[in-house]
Structure 1
Amino acid sequence: MNTKSITTFFIIIFQIVSLNSNAQVLRKRNTMLMGGRFDITIVAKDSLSAEQSIDEVIVEISRIEYLISDWKPTTQISEVNQNAGICPVKVDKEVFELTQRALHFSEITNGGFDISFAAMDRIWKFDGSMTEMPSAEAIKKSVEKVGYKNIILDSINSTIFLKLKGMKIGFGALGEGYATNKCKEMMLAKGIEAGIVNGTGDMSTWGQQPNGKPWNIGITNPFHPEKLLAVVPLSGAVTTSGSYEKFVVFGGKRYSHIINPSTGYPVTGLCSVTVFGPNAEIANGLSTSLMVLGKTAGLSLLEKFPDYSCIMITDAGKVVKSKNFKIKKFKAKL
């Protein structure tokens, strides 16, 4: 688990349609926000409405970024981090409640998911420069400031306090999903009945294409990134966590760039997890958690979320579906 453990794993597949005078129009735009790429697609009654709606989505994502970013020094989360071990910091209700939900994930995963991972020492390098594993002592030291139990929330005063100096919290494993979900809710509230907001692989979709057909999402094959694992129709949220782009191999064992925050060791066993469900924030948290927990514990956790299903790809190339996998006629092509 790290600040940007999620990569773009989806291709939105649009069908070319013949639009009549009553049809809606589709507009797309991409931009860099929250440290990654956002692809925004809006279906509206005319081009002006669609472009204005995209502008509003970008403003909303920027607003969220300037609340929860831990790499921008003036955000509320940066203020929390700067006062670690010193004093509680009052935050907006929105930030407080997002932190509460993140801590819930930490509790149900026994620290497999942990927003205080932001304090982890970056001792693992995935740029080709590592020639040997870090020592066990260095790995243990790298996570000594990580620990969700040292995050103190005061709901009466809406404050967050990090007990240890040097602690940090960050939303790299929830923020994009939260932002895409908020944008979807905002667009539905203003009457935009269809669209997609894709934040570096954390995607919220709603409605249908202008031709009345479902959105089609192509999921990247983790062993052949230039190919698709599958194409699936989608209405709702989908997120993927994966490790196939950044990893090291020592002693024949593959270590991914997603780090278990409770141990300091890279996760092994799974190279990607894709989660489907109604809410991108929850799906985002689940996909990250499942990568860290592994196949058996991850599937057990998912049973607590009956509205969500997943596909796991193991390091050995096996496709594993959750019991409640809802997409019919799904066939993976590894």
Structure 2
Amino acid sequence: MGSRFDITVVANNSTSANQYIDLAIGEIQRIEKLISSWDKNSQTSLINTNAGITPVEVDTELFDLIYRAVQISRLTDGAFDISYASMDRIWKFDNSMTEMPAKEEVKASVAKVGYQNIVLNKEKSTVYLAQKGMKIGFGAIGKGYAADKAKKLLISKGVVAGIINASGDMNTWGKQPDKSEWKVAITNPLNKNSAFALLPVVNKAVVTSGSYEKYVILDGKRYSHIIDPRTGYPSTGIISATVFAPKAELADALATSIFVMGIEIGLNRINQLKEVECIIVDDQGDIHTSNNIKISTR
């Protein structure tokens, strides 16, 4: 998945711990083979190759993941969309851009993006991309899903506590050996060497999306590397979004979506979801939280 995974388990001895960690690694590698769009032999690649041609029968696991992704797309009004993989990459975040791309170029870049054109047949377990040239990708949900599956596997093997850290997508369960809760530091996006909050996380996932490392400034305005798949334009106004949810898969998708939806709509959507909370930092350094999170500054 092109990402670093750090796995921590609470076990009786180092031998058992290493065996559990190896199991988790095996599960993550299995999922990568299933969802990778880089592997020409994966079912995901087969779906993309047959876009606009024919439905592709897939494993129930992949079908269900795509189904949930489409549901999240509906929930976020398309701010999250796994067919984003169809986008032409016209925005550069390597300091090489000096002017805005043409409107026609931006419009053309998202012409084949649209979750509405992902046709699912549950009875036949088939996935069909209705437009030729469409592609799906799991860059905004795959790491979280892999973390969830590794956690589930380890729990089934009797591991009482641990953390799966998928490049910042944190998934926890149980407690530390001293019986204290796992705690997650929320990085200050204006000063990456410090944290503005240290929060307990009990059997939950925490995912942070940030634009403080990848962005471009054009005509004095700051544009994030997170692109709105509906318009082709980068998101603005937010530099960090942290989401707490029961599963990393959901938290992963929502953290990205908040950038696109914006502060007001993003908070409103999060406040409608059970067991989901968020912390947003805007480009002025101000902190915004969902209803059940309170941060006091001293």
Give TM class, smaller chain.
Answer: over 0.9
SS of the equivalent of 1:99 reads: helix
Tell me whether 1:186 sits opposite 2:158 in the alignment: no
SS of the equivalent of 1:134 reads: coil
Tell me whether 1:78 sits opposite 2:76 in the alignment: no
1:194-238: CA deviations, max 9, x gaps?
Answer: 100011121110111111111122222111112222222212110
Task: Show the counterpart of 1:176.
Answer: 143
Please tell me whether the aligned partners of residues 319 and 332 of structure 1 are also in contact (alpha carbons under 8 angstroms). Answer: no
Aligned residues: 297
Which AA in structure 1 matches 2:54?
C
Task: Show the counterpart of 1:203.
Answer: 170
- Quick one: which of 12, 18, 33 aligns to 1:45? 12
Of structures 1 and 2, the one scoring higher in RCO (CA 8 A, sep 6+) is 1
Q: Distance in 2 between matches of 1:45 and 1:198?
A: 21
Q: Which consecutive segments of 4 or more residues in structure 1 shift more than 4 A?
A: none
Q: Distance in 1 between matches of 2:115 and 2:150?
A: 28
Q: Distance in 2 between matches of 1:72 and 1:227?
A: 38
Deviation at 1:304, TM superposition (A): 2.4
1:89-143: CA deviations, max 9, x gaps?
Answer: 1100000000000000111222111100001000000011111111111100000
Q: Distance in 2 between matches of 1:273 and 1:315?
A: 11
Listed as ranges, the matches of 1:138-157 within 5 Å are 138-157=105-124
Gap change, CA 1:332 and 1:238, over 3 Å in 2: farther
Listed as ranges, the matches of 1:321-332 within 5 Å are 321-325=289-293, 330-331=295-296
- Quick one: which of 212, 218, 233 aligns to 1:250? 218
Which AA in structure 1 matches 2:264?
T
Tell me whether 1:270 sits opposite 2:238 in the alignment: yes
Deviation at 1:331, TM superposition (A): 4.1
Taking only the aligned residue pairs, the percentage that are identical comes to: 54
Listed as ranges, the matches of 1:225-236 within 5 Å are 225-235=192-202, 236=204
Listed as ranges, the matches of 1:19-168 within 5 Å are 34-168=1-135
In structure 2, stretches of 5+ residues that fail to align are: none
Provide TM-score, normalisation by structure 1: 0.87
Deviation at 1:306, TM superposition (A): 2.0
Point out the more displaced range, 37-46 or 213-222: 213-222
Q: Distance in 2 between matches of 1:187 and 1:113?
A: 29
Q: Distance in 2 between matches of 1:118 and 1:332?
A: 40
Task: Show the counterpart of 1:4.
Answer: none
Q: Distance in 1 between matches of 2:75 and 2:183?
A: 32
SS of the equivalent of 1:36 reads: coil
- Quick one: which of 269, 287, 292 aligns to 2:255? 287
SS of the equivalent of 2:8 reads: strand
SS of the equivalent of 2:27 reads: helix
Instruction: Please provide the CA RMSD for this pair.
Output: 1.2
Tell me whether 1:222 sits opposite 2:189 in the alignment: yes
SS of the equivalent of 1:226 reads: strand
Point out the more displaced range, 285-294 or 137-146: 285-294
Tell me whether 1:320 sits opposite 2:288 in the alignment: yes
Which AA in structure 2 matches 1:296?
E
